[in-house]
Amino acid sequence: MIGIRQKLMLGFGGLLLIILLSGAFTLFNIGRLGGAVDTILKENYRSVTASQQMKESLERIDSGLLFILTGNGKEGGKLVEEHVEKFLVALKTEQGNITIAGEKEAADSIERLFAEYNSGLRPMLDDGMTDDGKRAFYYKNLYPLFYEIKNNAQKILDMNQAHMVQAGRDASELSATVFDRTAAAIIASVIIAAMFSFLTHKWILNPIRRLTESARHIKDGNLNLVLEVGSKDEIGQLSKSFNEMAHALRTAKKHDMAKLATAERSASDMLKALPEAIAVISTDGTIKSASETAEKNFGIKPGEDIGNLGIGWAEKLFEKCLIEHKQQTYDGYIQHFIGGSEYFFQPTVIPIPLGRADRKMTSAALILKDVTQVNEQQELKKSVAATVSHQLKTPLTSVRMAVHLLLEERVGGLNEKQTELLLEARDGSDRLSSIIDSLIAIDAAEGKKNSAAVYSAGLLMADAKDVFEADALDRGLRLICRESSGLPEVLADREAIAHVFSNLINNAFRFTAAGGEIILDAAVNGDFVTFSVTDTGRGIPQEHLEHIFDRFYRVPGQEGSTGTGLGLAIVKEIVQTHGGQVSVLSRESSGSEFRFSLPVHKEEYK
């Protein structure tokens, strides 16, 4: 069995062999080409230079003889002596560089002729011979030797130049041969590389691509895949293992689907038997399952789309849960009639994640909690509180009036102890009167229809600042109203919102020491303007924030300096009547920030 390793070694080994052979062949031919050039430069060029030197020296010697014949014997003799030496040096160089057939004979002939020529130069340099004798001797003996030596030097020059030309042609032919053979080697390497690339695709890349695509299909849930095992190498073994894995996954999926179907049937049966109205909704809005109570009382049936059930509050809660991936609870109660009787429910949508590690939402549970009894109790408490407060108002007024008359001593004098008791009775009756007034105010806020009009948000803050600015100065506090330009108009009951500001600012006064600040501010938040009253007072402990708007709730440890515990409850009722919300941010020793929102007048706010 030939494995991937052997296939890769075979392919890369073939490429390496071709590269080595091509390199060796190229180096060999470059060496031959260099040798041919070296021959031209070293051998023939030296002979050509020597021949040219002999010719030049011979001509200089002849010029020296002509100087002698013209009566300038001193300069002519000097010229002859100088170039005889140079001629002999050039002749010696030529004789040591014989490379061409026939070149030796020509060099020997030059040596013999120049020896005869050189011996004939002696008489020309002596003063014993007359000028006519020298002239006759020159033309008869030296000039013919000069001509013959020069011809032999030219012959050697021509022979070497011809050989250089031929060597140049040989070098050009060799260069062309080297180019052709190198190009052929490169083409062969490219062909082998292309073959190896094709085989690599066939042996390795194509199977790996099939494995990758198959893995992607399995990821998408398609387990009905069987890969063709075309070889017995590592890729083939991997394909075989992949098929075994896919088979195991198919088996496990069938087993899990059976378990899931059983679990779903059990869960559906259990859900139907629950007394509460509960439904499970898939992410596309389809009801997957529902309890009999939900189906019977609200028409929530499996297979229906939640958008088609006509219960908009449920659809909105579900959509918000899909976006935020957290539990959503309806703010308030849903009134619903069952069998002619009135019931109240509080809907909640809870996301159902895929698992503990993966928090991706797969579905959601809609739970309709029956809060009829809780609502009845709250209504009863409100009714009792309203009835009691109204019933107590008249006799309490009589008691307070009597206490005040007694303290004024209109019906007789009082001793010290009687005065002390009456003062305590007066403080208690005043406190009880404040509580009753607050209860009446809450009852009025709950029952009152919102008679809102369009007001500037800045105007509402300015009204509050004007009312409490003097009181703030008396207490040593700074009351600051932030710039309100650019804020839209809001829908509000001016008198009721003044009461809200009054409660919040009085609270800030009560818990902020002299030198502190109370800041009134407002900002646009979607379709609402959010107002805030921020102080630099003692703050509220975190564990008490969630109860701060409850009726009669007072933070422990502050009873001596607080009111009845109904002021913030009144604020909440008034703001909710306007369609807004209230909230608080606080930290101990860092102050508090109370916020409430009012709806924007949309026709004006564009």
* 203-222 confidence digits (pLDDT tens): 666 667 776 777 777 767 67
Q: How many CA atoms lie within 13 A of 536 on its CB side?
A: 12
Over range 582-600, report the average pLDDT.
89
* 11-35 confidence digits (pLDDT tens): 667 667 777 777 776 777 666 666 6
Over range 522-544, report the average pLDDT.
89
User: CA distances (Å), 267 to each of 29, 270, 352, in order?
Assistant: 87, 5, 14
Could you tell me how many residues make up the chain? Answer: 606
Residue 577: partners with Cβ closer than 8 Å, 6 or more residues away: 445, 446, 448, 450, 496
DSSP bridge pairs for 524: 529
Inter-residue long-range contacts of 213-217, CB under 8 Å, 24+ positions, other chains counted = 214/242, 214/246, 215/242
Whether 519 contacts 480, CB under 8 Å: yes
Over range 413-434, report the average pLDDT.
74
CA pair distance 157, 171, nearest whole angstrom: 21
pLDDT of residue 137: 85
Residue 520 predicted with pLDDT over 90: yes
Over range 482-510, report the average pLDDT.
87
pLDDT of residue 358: 57
Inter-residue long-range contacts of 223-231, CB under 8 Å, 24+ positions, other chains counted = 223/249, 223/250, 223/253, 224/250, 231/203, 231/207
Whether 250 contacts 217, CB under 8 Å: no
CA pair distance 27, 23, nearest whole angstrom: 6
pLDDT of residue 116: 86
Strands (E) across 538-591 are located at 582-586
pLDDT of residue 584: 92
Whether 440 contacts 566, CB under 8 Å: no
Residue 552: partners with Cβ closer than 8 Å, 6 or more residues away: 564, 565, 566, 569
In this structure, how many other beta carbons lie within 10 angstroms of the beta carbon of residue 252? 11
Classify strands 453-456 and 478-481 as parallel, antiparallel or unpaired: unpaired
Residue 561 predicted with pLDDT over 60: no
Q: Which of 97-106, 179-188, 319-328, 532-541 has the lowest mean pLDDT?
A: 179-188
What does the block give as tokens for 440?
A: 């009446």
Query: In degrees to the nearest 10, what's the CA dihedral of 381, 384, 385, 388?
Result: -160
Greatest CA span in the chain, whole angstroms?
Answer: 190
CA pair distance 375, 145, nearest whole angstrom: 149
Whether 64 contacts 76, CB under 8 Å: yes
Whether 508 contacts 535, CB under 8 Å: yes
Mean pLDDT of the chain: 77
* 46-91 confidence digits (pLDDT tens): 888 888 888 898 888 888 888 888 878 788 888 888 888 888 888 8
Over range 428-454, report the average pLDDT.
63
Q: Taking the CA atoms of 266, 267, 271 and 272 in sequence, report the sign of the dihedral they define.
A: negative
Percent of the chain predicted with pLDDT > 70: 74
pLDDT of residue 432: 67
CA pair distance 381, 572, nearest whole angstrom: 17
Whether 366 contacts 315, CB under 8 Å: no
With H, G, I as helix, E, B as strand and everything else as coil, classify residue 361: strand
User: CA distances (Å), 563 to each of 392, 540, 555, in order?
Assistant: 19, 16, 11
Q: Taking the CA atoms of 286, 291, 296 and 297 in sequence, report the sign of the dihedral they define.
A: negative
Residue 593 predicted with pLDDT over 90: yes
Q: Which of 387-401, 420-434, 493-507 has the lowest mean pLDDT?
A: 387-401
CA pair distance 404, 426, nearest whole angstrom: 7
Percent of the chain predicted with pLDDT > 90: 10
Over range 242-261, report the average pLDDT.
73
